[in-house]
Each structure stands twice: as structure tokens, then as C-alpha cells.
Amino acid sequence: MAVIHHTTMQPTKLELLAEWLPGRAWYTAGPGGPGPVKAGGFRLDDPAGEVGIEFMAVTDGAGPDALTYLVPMTYRGTPLEGAEHALIGTSEHGVLGTRWIYDGVHDPVLVAQLYALLAGRAEAQAQSVDDTPDPTVAASLAPAAAGAELVRAADGSGHTDVLVHEAGAAAPLTLRVRRVLRSGEDGGPGRGRIVAEWRLADGTTARGAFTVALADGDR
């Protein structure tokens, strides 16, 4: 079980994201530049207890033009070898010291647990409360293998496609992580999906697909 420390981070995650978001292919800049506001999400546990895993939804902008982005992040006590391109930034944690924060779609620990959530072997956890499942997150995958490993991840205009190799499978599977969240969208056809909630800029609650599992014929 991950322990959530209620302490300071300098710079904060939102400050790091304000610098990082403009360089993403799926980000649309609004008037005044990035001003991300936390809008929801959930956490997953690393079975080894070493890596923090969070799926954070952030709303950027105001009024009808505001968009909500999904940023899966991992928090590590040491750099992830070979993932310099995926580094969002470093931050000084009030309890744990320096944390290396990565775009989690490029982190094999997050991807393995994302697949485990789809397969029903991991449980989404509340963002800010220890050892508390988030019942609003629904996940399904059929059929599900014993596990999956990250092959590569590539950004698109509104998503990131994470290619994984499932145990015992001949063909790869794509986990399409929705970077721009749309209320009511289920992500279209696929072998499975993760659906969760977030808050819109006007304070109302939205619900839609966070991730869709796509076989070759679904894309």
C-alpha cells in the first residue's frame, strides 16, 4: 500500500506541469498560457513499494473553452534509466527528498499496473487518502493475460498509444491513454477500458474513458 504524505513539494506538481504541458502534441494552449488545476484522478500501488503512481486529471482554461487533460505520473527516488525524454521535472518532497517525476506512459512500472487494473488484478486508490479504494473507477479487459510489459509509447493529437506485449500473446496490444478527456465518451470499440470521473471548470462532475485497450482490428 502506498503511503500518501501530506507535505510540501517544491516546485509543486502543477507548477511542473505548467512548464511541461506546452511541449506536448496533445496540448492546446489557451489565452494566458498554461494554468492547470487539479480536477480528479486516482492512484495505483506499486507492488514493490518503490514507485508512486498517479493518474491526474487537470483542467486548463476557463468557460466553455476549458479542456481537461490526463497526465499519468510516476514518482521515483532515483532517475529512471533511459527515460530522460519522459522526465517532467524534479521536486523536493518534504519527507522523501528529491523526487524524479515522469510522464508515466513511459514508465514500465506504471504500465504494468495499468494493465493489472484493466485485468482486475489491481484496484484504483483514492488520490489523497491512504488505503482507500476509489469506487468511481471502472475497469474491464477480455481476455486478460497474466501480465504485460511496456514496448513503447507514442503521442498522438489527443492521446498516447502505449504498445504492450501481453504474456503468451502473439500480437501486441495498444493501451490508448486519452490525454484530452471528454465527458460521456467511452473511447469506442476495444477489448476493454477504464472509465473514471473528473471535475469540469464549472464544478460539475464528468465521466468518460481514461484508457481503451485496442487490438489491431480496433484502431
Q: What region, left, alpha or beta, does residue 184 occupy, with left being phi > 0 and alpha being psi -120 to 50 degrees?
A: left
- Which residues partner with 97 through β-bridges? 93
Does some domain include residue 21? yes
Q: Distance between CA atoms of 38 and 198, rounded to whole angstroms?
A: 9
Structural domain that includes position 97: 9-218
Does some domain include residue 97? yes
Give the model's confidence band at 219: pLDDT under 50 very low, under 70 low, under 90 confident, else very high: low
Does some domain include residue 174? yes
Selection from 66, 56, 64 nearest residue 20 by Cα: 56
User: Cell for 103?
Assistant: 510522464
Task: Give the count of domains, the chain.
Answer: 1
**Whole-number mean pLDDT of the chain?**
92
- Quick check: pTM over 0.85? yes
pLDDT, tens digit, for every residue of 82-137? 999 999 999 987 667 799 999 999 999 999 999 999 999 999 999 988 889 999 99
pLDDT, tens digit, for every residue of 27-65? 998 777 799 999 999 999 999 999 999 999 999 988 888
Does some domain include residue 47? yes
Selection from 120, 107, 124 nearest residue 43 by Cα: 124
Does some domain include residue 1? no
Does some domain include residue 22? yes
